Structure 1
Amino acid sequence: MADGTPVSANPAAVVFAVGGLYVAQSVIGGVTWTGLPAVLRDQGLSLDNVGLLSLIALPWALKFLWAPMVERYRLPPVGRNRSGVIVAVGGIISIAGLIVVGLLGPSPLAPVLACLTIVALAAATVDIACDGYAVESLPRSQHGWANAAQVGGAYLGSAIGGGLFLLLVAGLGWTDAMWAMAALLAVLGLPFLLRSQAAGASEERAHVPSLAAALRRPEIRRGLLAAALYVVAQKTALMMLGPFLVDAGLDLATLGLLNGAGSMVVGLGAALVGGALVRMLGARAVLVIALMLQALALGTFAARDLLFIDLPLPVLLAVAVASSSGIMALGFVALYAQFMHWSDPRQGGVDFTLFQSMDALVSMAGGVAAGFVAEHLGYGVFFAGAGVIALATIPAIAFVTRRTTPDIPATLEPVGESQ
């Protein structure tokens, strides 16, 4: 369609297809940012070196630079949608990269960082196509399902990459565990490839996707600010949770079970609860609630070191699961729902990519800073500071996500108010 949104005749098939890709991307993220930090700390690597893993997020932070080129290739002026081609090539590169990392072993760190950065580059490019395909292929009334697939897929993939992966490392060794993850990526990508081959006719498209078109819209600018604020408050402390629990006496196998069960049960459950709360209370209220809960969880970790409170390990584990899975899912359902509303269906891959790039850029910088602060000032100061940031962000995020009437291009149907 030249001026509107291509709508799929089978929304459930689209949600299932993109859901597999979202799970696959989160498997890679779980291995990189949850599983690998724990493995490296278990081998004695310093926290500031563990923090360097955040640099692998660089392709996710910069993918907005090539998102317009990907979208213009994916949606040519005349012809079929090429989402399947992009997903197939990116998937092959990602699978091959994990196979190589399996051969390299977790150390030395430099070649592993280089290889996983290439995998991240491929996965980030696939994500551009996946997000754009979801936005354009579903009617606006069905966008909530895509958002549920995105958030739910993220936690399922995180459970696999940060939980099952650690169990496999403990039981089978590094190489077999990494190769199992590579095989899983192939399986998860098949539904989308089959769907893209079966659907899609030749179309004419008048709109040319571009960054300039995105940045002219006030919703995009507000969304970028909201992403930066929220990620600083919610994600800064997450990379240090694994090392913190390892230093508290937790072994890798138990940590793997914790991450897996937390993401599978708590994360998915909180995502569903978050979706219901967004419909009842609005996205802004849910974001504020999540920030308050996160500050409380971080304060619990800080109290253990700063106030010398001897918290039992089960209490620490429960709070860790609540923080990394439950509270995160609750808040990001609301944030991603807001991103969906702010995106232009004619270039959904560009608009949503801008939001995710801001997320990745802030996460990367925060991860490096987190490792440095925790290593040199201790866990207590680090978690206390992160909790203060979460509380201080509440007024700003409430202002940025206030209810307004969106500025919609004339050729588009209204996307609905900010919630």
Structure 2
Amino acid sequence: MVGLGGLYVAQSVIGSMIFAGLPAVMRQSGASLNEIAFTLLAVLPWSFKFLWAPAVERFRSPQDGVRRSRLTVAIVGAVSVSAVAAFALIGPGALAPLAAAMMLASFASATIDIACDGHAVETLAERDRSWGNAAQVGGAYLGSALGGGVFLVLIDHMGWRDAGLVMAGALVALALPFLLTPDGARPARADRPRPSLKRAFQRPDVRFGLMLVAVYVFGQKWAMTLIGPFLIDSGLSLTAIGTINGVGVTALGVLGALGGGYLVRRHGPFSIMTRTLGAQIAAMLALAAIAYFQVTSPYVLLPTVLASAVMFALGFVALYTELMGRASLDQAGVDFTLFQSADAIVSLIGWQLAATVGEALGYAACFVAAGVFGLAALALMPILSRNALVHTEARS
């Protein structure tokens, strides 16, 4: 669990540097929301990593049953660290080469995630999956504290290059627990079929999981990428935002992830997803009111952002616990990667639309739209819950 957690933190460091740290730096330098949205193209490897997931799974878990999870992470991890070092040396002013370094780092991180998730599904017993996803979501928040919080503070005090090189060193340290821990995965079936996307799409569990992701993620993530620029435009400094992300959001996010691990085991995934979606809608509408009335007090902004963070963490522990149970042990990395790619694709669509709406109509309209989409997702949750029960009974 510690090894998996370290990898999840490392992956989130890279993502947060790109999706939280860089947009705030660019906004402070005068970039438009559309220019900031351009950097989000680096999410494309996360959106389409399912295309090379079968090849990664065939290398990581070959037919002879000998796992290569650690070898896969070591090889691709070296590429990832090198890309982050290049990211640091290029600097935020050269957009084209910076985008290339970001894309390479994102590609390597997404590839590691295929191996990491496949290993997690194989290793964790069903009763422990909620805790595994708590480690995943909690690790994401800790990574966000580093990539979207500490990174910004270091930029303010050390400059872009040195701050980026510190992050590259942190990635190496975070990967060591996984690389040095014995493999605890179950032995693979010798007669299992060859991992493929075709086989994944043929499974009803996978098709249902993709539908669930599309509904829930669009309801949750619509305006998340604009919160950093919104706080900048509200007068907060990079250090202030970094402190909020690094201390408040992280502490409550990790608490929410751990609480999610317990609550999902007790109440079930759909109960938690429904409740947290309702709370997230309230947070988005509160942000809309704050933006409309131009409230800049940190005593108003801070509780709203923190409440959104803890609900986000709880909800995604529940979502990924449900999805992990629908991945086949014969090709865990492929099935779970499909779910995560769907998450990334829906997120990218939402972020691009949010940037367009935010640039044209302002933050208030964007946050209202987030609340409306959340309400639509909330209305569909009872139907999805009933369908989930039908799929589970059919599988049994």
| Alignment-derived partner of residue 345 in structure 1 | 329
Q: How far apart, in 2, do the equivalents of 1:223 and 1:199 lie? A: 24
| Alignment-derived partner of residue 268 in structure 1 | 254
Q: How far is 1:331 from its partner?
A: 0.7
- Asked if structure 1 preserves the Cα contact closer than 8 Å seen for 2:12 and 2:140, the reply is yes
Q: How far is 1:131 from its partner?
A: 0.7
Residue 102 to residue 408, structure 1, CA distance change in 2 (3 Å): farther
State percent identity of aligned pairs. Answer: 46
Secondary structure, in 3 states, of the residue corresponding to 1:80?
A: coil
| One-letter amino acid of the counterpart of residue 345, structure 1 | L
Q: Which has the higher helix share?
A: 2
In the alignment, does 2:301 pair up with 1:316?
yes
Q: 1:1-59, CA deviations, whole angstroms, 9 ceiling, x for partnerless residues?
A: xxxxxxxxxxxxxx111111111001111111111111110111001111122211100
| Alignment-derived partner of residue 85 in structure 2 | 99
| Alignment-derived partner of residue 127 in structure 2 | 141
Q: How far is 1:361 from its partner?
A: 0.7
Residue 86 to residue 64, structure 1, CA distance change in 2 (3 Å): same
In the alignment, does 2:206 pair up with 1:223?
no
| One-letter amino acid of the counterpart of residue 105, structure 1 | G
Q: How far apart, in 1, do the equivalents of 2:94 and 2:199 lie? A: 44
Q: 1:136-165, CA deviations, whole angstroms, 9 ceiling, x for partnerless residues?
A: 123323323321211111111111111111
- Asked if structure 1 preserves the Cα contact closer than 8 Å seen for 2:131 and 2:261, the reply is no
Q: 1:48-88, CA deviations, whole angstroms, 9 ceiling, x for partnerless residues?
A: 11112221110011011111111111111115211122101
Residue 108 to residue 405, structure 1, CA distance change in 2 (3 Å): same
| One-letter amino acid of the counterpart of residue 349, structure 1 | G
- Give the aligned CA root-mean-square deviation in angstroms: 2.0
- Asked if structure 2 preserves the Cα contact closer than 8 Å seen for 1:159 and 1:262, the reply is no
Indicate the larger mover: 399-408 or 218-227.
399-408
Q: How far apart, in 2, do the equivalents of 1:90 and 1:53 lie? A: 22
Within-5 A mapping of 1:155-174:
155-174=141-160
Which of 358, 362, 369 is matched with 1:374 structurally? 358
Q: TM-score, normalised by structure 1?
A: 0.90
Secondary structure, in 3 states, of the residue corresponding to 1:77?
A: coil
| Alignment-derived partner of residue 66 in structure 1 | 52
Q: How far is 1:123 from its partner?
A: 0.8
Q: How far apart, in 2, do the equivalents of 1:280 and 1:214 lie? A: 30
Which of 374, 378, 389 is matched with 1:394 structurally? 378
| One-letter amino acid of the counterpart of residue 262, structure 1 | G
| Alignment-derived partner of residue 417 in structure 1 | none
| Alignment-derived partner of residue 214 in structure 1 | 200
| Alignment-derived partner of residue 383 in structure 1 | 367
Q: How far is 1:277 from its partner?
A: 2.4
- Asked if structure 1 preserves the Cα contact closer than 8 Å seen for 2:135 and 2:257, the reply is no
- Asked if structure 1 preserves the Cα contact closer than 8 Å seen for 2:58 and 2:195, the reply is yes
Q: TM-score, normalised by structure 2?
A: 0.95
In the alignment, does 2:296 pair up with 1:299?
no
- Asked if structure 1 preserves the Cα contact closer than 8 Å seen for 2:123 and 2:185, the reply is no
Q: Give the number of equivalent residue pairs.
A: 395
| One-letter amino acid of the counterpart of residue 231, structure 1 | V
Structure 2: segments with no counterpart, 5+ residues: none
| Alignment-derived partner of residue 84 in structure 1 | 70
- Asked if structure 1 preserves the Cα contact closer than 8 Å seen for 2:43 and 2:348, the reply is yes
- Asked if structure 1 preserves the Cα contact closer than 8 Å seen for 2:234 and 2:296, the reply is no
- Asked if structure 2 preserves the Cα contact closer than 8 Å seen for 1:80 and 1:203, the reply is no
Structure 1: segments with no counterpart, 5+ residues: 1-14, 415-419
Indicate the larger mover: 64-73 or 138-147.
138-147
Q: How far apart, in 2, do the equivalents of 1:138 and 1:199 lie? A: 8
Q: 1:321-348, CA deviations, whole angstroms, 9 ceiling, x for partnerless residues?
A: 221x211101101101101111111211
Q: 1:164-193, CA deviations, whole angstroms, 9 ceiling, x for partnerless residues?
A: 111111111101111111001111111211
| Alignment-derived partner of residue 29 in structure 1 | 15
In the alignment, does 2:284 pair up with 1:288?
no
Residue 248 to residue 69, structure 1, CA distance change in 2 (3 Å): same
Q: How far apart, in 1, do the equivalents of 2:392 and 2:268 lie? A: 20
- Asked if structure 2 preserves the Cα contact closer than 8 Å seen for 1:151 and 1:271, the reply is yes
| Alignment-derived partner of residue 109 in structure 1 | 95
| Alignment-derived partner of residue 244 in structure 2 | 258
